[in-house]
Structure 1
Amino acid sequence: MTDNGAEIVHEDNWGLKKLAYPIQKKTTGYYHLTTFKAPGEFINKLEVEYRRDERIMRFLTVSLDKHALAFSEKKRSGAFNKNKETKTEEVAQ
């Protein structure tokens, strides 16, 4: 990805999960989430490579708006967990 002008923002390995329905007679799959910034023409190249790779059963590429990006950043930084800790402390006092 980085060789073609993309900037990787965050990677998250979800690991081996059970699929909602069998795909190519397989019931489990390895999930990986990659958040990246890239020019629009890069997406077509990436999806062609995903289609050619036999190891990839399914993929989903989505474009995030500014609100989704802000939410994602807060979630990664743990801001939501800090709010829960503060509320728990208030209740305990």
Structure 2
Amino acid sequence: MVKETKPAEKAMAESRPVFAKDNFKFMIVGLVLIVIGFLLMLGGSNGDPNTFKPEEVYSFRRITLAPIVIVLGLLTEIYAIMRKPKA
């Protein structure tokens, strides 16, 4: 006796993953870049709340480098999502 398959089961059997393995690699790279960017922003703690050290808060690392790394990570994520897998 031949078992009839339902249309939903047939569609599931014929479907393929949305993202290829390479896309996931790019997604991981983008996520790592974003995390690195946020880690670059960390720090600047001060034991005395009455003093302010602008050289720590407004450093090149926190104001320029970290946002650039985060934006690169986000662009990498967009590329990973939009990239068509190779046939």
TM over 0.5: no
- The structure whose RCO (Cα within 8 Å, separation 6+) is larger is 2
- Structure (1 or 2) with the greater strand fraction: 1
Bigger Rg over Cα: 2
